[in-house]
Structure 1
Amino acid sequence: MADLKERFHSRQAVSRPSGSGRTLLQGLDLLGLKKRKQGLRSWIHVDTSGNSQIIEVDKFTIMHRCDLPARDLRLLDPLFVYPSTILGREKAIVVNLEQIRCIITANEVLLLNSVDSSVLRYATELQRRLTAPAVGEVWESDGNDLNGSRGSRNFDNVFGNTSPDDLPFEFRALELALEAACTFLDAQAAELETEAYPLLDELTSNISTLKLESLRRLKSRLDALTRRVQKVRDEIEQLMDDDGDMAEMYLTEKKRQMESSFYGDQSLVGHSSSGGALSVSAPVSPVSSPPNVRKLERSLSITRSRHESIRSSDSTTGNIEELEMLLEAYFVVIDNTLNKLTSLKEYIDDTEDFINIQLDNVRNQLIKFDLLVTTATFVVAIFAVVTGVFGMNLPNPLYDDPNAFPWVLVITGIVGVVIFGSFLLFFKYKRLLPL
């Protein structure tokens, strides 16, 4: 990682010649060259041997080199935010998984250079895996050191399957990209769990505005992370459901078939030109051959080409198990991460429901208290009515009786208690208050 950073900064520090001594036309050419060089981007190039270098190429060179349309390169643009995507093309695999944005071919990996540590870790780990000895070789060398008779045992015979180092180059690079994306998303999910569960446990016992605000921000992060994890899971599941897309991603196999077909055509052309027997797929001269012979040769050539294409397609479709197993492994990992986030979201929803129940309970208690206070106020208002009646400046014989005032208070109090008890019985009958 440090080596890649040092080489990147050294390339950035290279001085470019100035155009101060040029003519006006040359100055215009320099401006055009400057505009063209603005399209250059820095890529980390890793080949099949594990050698890496930083190159600067433009968009059209990448399109021509990897046989990709411009819309696929748009997915790798760091200025735009696109969802996670894995595209299998004729000569390349376009990978956009979180921070890892790269183009994988049968011979190389072009990784978009970035200051992000995840990109440098990906390049460093890919170099390490490509330069490390195969697992079977390590097992065999250890067996030779321990016992000569056990040296013929290899990793495949023990476990019954091929080691990860036996995968084609493009699948090893794709596996590392999936591993980096799944690890990154799982780490973020674990970080959310670490922050969320203590906060939710505190909210069940003590509700405050600050904690509710923290829960709101946490839920927003959870929703965004869930969408990203769901997109990666859907992308892997979509690839697993389509055998044609998986067969399209066997770049090494397609390259080998193209090379064998090319060398076969060259040998057939050479054999025909040397004066040997006429080949089935060799071109026939329209002058020296009769029409019936030309028709027969053309039909045999078409039949043979169709048979070979169908056979190669069937063999490629039949050999997609290794890619399917690779995708299945990381589908389980990303599905586990999604289950973690789903469980966390359910726990948050349950906590919110519990908080709402508590708030409803408090609200109901306040309503009951308000109802009792209102009833008591109504009873006390009866005393105010009696006071207002006796406070009028009108002739009344009760004013001359010294025992009238206590009797008025007693009678008014009894009437108030009766009215208040009647309200309580009514509330109990209507089940408005648990009495």
Structure 2
Amino acid sequence: MEKSENSNKGVPSGGARAGAFGHAFGYSGVKKRGHGSRSWIKIEQNGNAKVMELDKSTIMKNCSLPSRDLRLLDPLFIYPSAILGREKAIVVNLEQIRCVITADEAFVMNSLDGSVMQYKTELCNRLQATRDHADGLPFEFKALELALELTCTSLDAQAKELTSEIRPVLDELTSSISTLNLERVRRFKGNLLSLTQRVQKVRDEIEHLMDDDGDMAEMYLTEKKEKMEGYMSNDSDIDNIRSVAVNSDLDNIPSVGLDSVKWLSKSAPVSPVAPVSPEAVTIGSHKLQRAFSSITRSSQHETLTTTSSSQKEDIVQLEMLLEAYFVFIDHTLSKLSSLKEYIDDTEDLINIKLGTVQNQLIQFELLLTAATFVVTCFAVVTGVFGMNFETSVFDNPFTFNWVLKALFTLVSKAIHALHCTGSLTRQVIKHTMCKKDEPQLLLAVH
């Protein structure tokens, strides 16, 4: 036993080995970054803002959010734009603006980006300007509207800047095709594709919210908070009434401040002389509890009916707010689509020009080939008649002339045949291109 104990002294335990393994491969650092605190900007409902160091668990506890929702706001990961409505918060991930909005405050992830500072400054100014008078929008909608406004404005400004940069390059490319201009267009086309995808994602997210009434209803955080506080106050009043009914006489029930039960206290006769038996107290308390239960059910039914009608109106109000920015971002997407079509048209024009130049080069090559063929034929005749050997053909002086005439006729026939073949080839190519373009034309007509 002593030997085994001594032999295990130098062997680290399982936890130590795991810690050493995690330290060696950087696991502990990853875990620390994942659960460590981050810098957040807390913006209150009155317009005050301050920078705080909060960890992930604190945000999850205060806002009742799962870990996967906060993962969307992590700057270490790249996630598309998203707007999520939860029970007590709205999670917003729009470009550089990442925040968690509650009914009373907003937590914005601190960053050196100018959009974050602009969001903080503008939201504080708007909240302080509307502190004394209400403008009809709750706090969460003001924060959400500003995030949508800054995001849509930023994307539209980037689209305008890209359009102003790429159109002169395309115009220059149509006049002079060069490698430098082609490289610039290729780079701009990549930027255009990336920007189009970002704009498309924001547009789809707004459209998804507009199509789902349940998601829009989840975003009424202030209204849900007020309803919850009202239900809690009603429950506390009912508990007070029940405790009074059980612990006191039915003839001496005091008023607890509810208008719905004043008739019970007023209608009960007061007889301070005659004592009340415990059985009567019990029976009276049960009757009083049943009366309050019926009153509570009727008041809750009226509250739910009023809530459903007002919720529809509020959903329409939020839908109109989202629709305004949907139209704005859809217009930006249309401009990018038009720019993409302009690039495609320029590419088609360049391909046509290159095809024309290629055809001219092919024609010139055919001309050189024909001229070489003619010269070669006459050179063959000259070489044959210039050979130094005796034959009867050389004795006739008209033989050379007849050979030249026959050769000229053959060359003419060959050139004419080549010309006819080229015309036929061009017709076949033209017919093939027309057949290829027919489906596109039909789609355009439809």
Asked whether the two chains share a fold, i.e. TM above 0.5, the reply is yes
| Aligned ranges 1:215-364 → 2 under 5 Å | 215-275=185-245, 276=253, 305=300, 308-309=303-304, 311-364=306-359
Distance 1:176 1:408, change over 3 A: same
Which residue in the other structure is 1:84 paired with?
A: 81
Partners of 1:347 and 1:51 in 2: how far apart? 48
Q: Residue 274 of structure 1 aligns to a residue in which SS?
A: helix
TM-score, structure 1 normalization? 0.75
Which structure has greater helix proportion?
2
Give the whole-Å Cα distance in 2 for the aligned partners of 1:55 and 1:180.
23
Paired position in structure 1 for 2:45: 48
- Separation in 2, partners of 1:425, 1:73: 73
- The secondary structure found in structure 1 opposite 2:142 is helix
CA positional deviation for 1:405 = 6.5
Q: Which residue number corresponds to residue 67 of structure 2?
A: 70
Q: Distance in 2 between matches of 1:393 and 1:226?
A: 80
2:173 equivalent to 1:203 = yes
Distance 1:393 1:64 in 2: 112
1:64 is matched by which residue type in structure 2?
K
* Corresponding residue of 1:121: 118
CA distance in 1, matches of 2:191, 2:32: 40
- SS in structure 1 of the partner of residue 40 of structure 2: strand
Q: Which residue identity lines up with residue 100 of structure 2 in the other structure? A: I
Deviations 1:77-117 (A, max 9, x none): 00111111000101000000000000000100100001111
Cα pair 1:192 1:222 within 8 Å, conserved: yes
- Structure 2: gaps of 5 or more residues: 1-27, 246-252, 262-280, 429-446
Cα offsets for 1:323-371 (capped at 9, x unmatched): 1111111111101101110110111111111111111222222222222
In 1: Cα distance, 2:197 partner to 2:386 partner: 75
Partners in 1 of 2:231 and 2:290 — Cα distance? 23
8 Å CA contact 1:50–1:127 kept in 2: the answer is yes
Instruction: Verify the 8 A CA contact 1:170 1:251 in the aligned structure 2.
Output: yes
1:55 maps to amino acid: M
Tell me what 1:60 maps to: 57
What is the aligned counterpart of 1:132 among 111, 129, 133?
129
Rate the CA distance shift 1:259–1:427 in 2: closer, same or farther, 3 A.
closer
- Is the Cα contact below 8 Å between 2:94 and 2:202 reproduced in 1? yes
Partner of 2:376: 381
- Could you tell which deviates more after superposition, 97-106 or 354-363? 354-363
Tell me what 1:7 maps to: none
CA contact (8 A) 1:45 1:109 kept: yes
- 8 Å contact from structure 1 (residues 379, 420) kept in 2: no
Structure 1 residues 346 and 298: alpha-carbon distance in aligned structure 2, compared to 1, 3 A threshold: same
Q: Which has the larger radius of gyration?
A: 2
Deviations 1:110-158 (A, max 9, x none): 0000111110111011111111247x96xxxxxxxxxxxxxxxxxxxxx
Q: Tell me: CA distance 1:222–1:374, structure 2 relative to 1, closer, same or farther (3 Å).
A: same
Calculate the TM-score normalised by the size of structure 2.
0.73
How do 1:387-402 residues align onto structure 2 when only pairs under 5 Å count?
387-397=382-392
Q: What SS does the corresponding residue of 2:389 show, helix, strand or coil?
A: coil
CA distance 1:429–1:355, change in 2 (3 Å): closer
Note the 1:93-132 alignment, pairs <5 A: 93-132=90-129
Judging changes above 3 Å, is the alpha-carbon distance between structure 1 residues 180 and 428 closer, same or farther for their aligned structure 2 residues?
closer
Instruction: Please list the CA deviations of residues 30-71 of structure 1 after superposition, one character each: whole Å capped at 9, or x if unmatched.
Output: x99x95996100000000111110000110000000000000
2-structure distance, mates of 1:347, 1:313: 49
SS in 2 for 1:203: helix
- Supply the distance in 2 between the matched residues of 1:186 and 1:331 (Cα, whole angstroms): 13
Structure 1 residue 419: deviation in Å?
A: 3.9
Instruction: Select between 200-209 and 54-63 the one with higher mean Cα deviation.
Output: 200-209
Contact 2:38/2:53 (8 A) holds in 1: yes
For residues 316 and 422 of structure 1, do their structure 2 counterparts lie closer, same or farther at Cα, with a shift above 3 Å needed?
A: closer
CA displacement at 1:390 relative to structure 2: 3.0
**Residues 35 and 56, structure 2, Cα contact 8 Å, conserved in 1:** no
- Aligned-residue Cα RMSD (Å) equals 3.4
Q: What corresponds to 2:183 in structure 1?
A: 213
**In structure 1, C-alpha distance between the alignment counterparts of 2:392 and 2:37, rounded to whole Å:** 111
Q: How many residues align?
A: 369
Cα distance in 2, alignment partners of residues 267 and 298 from structure 1: 12
Question: Shift in Å at residue 316 of structure 1?
Answer: 1.6
Distance 2:388 2:229 in 1: 122
Q: Secondary structure of 2:92's partner?
A: strand
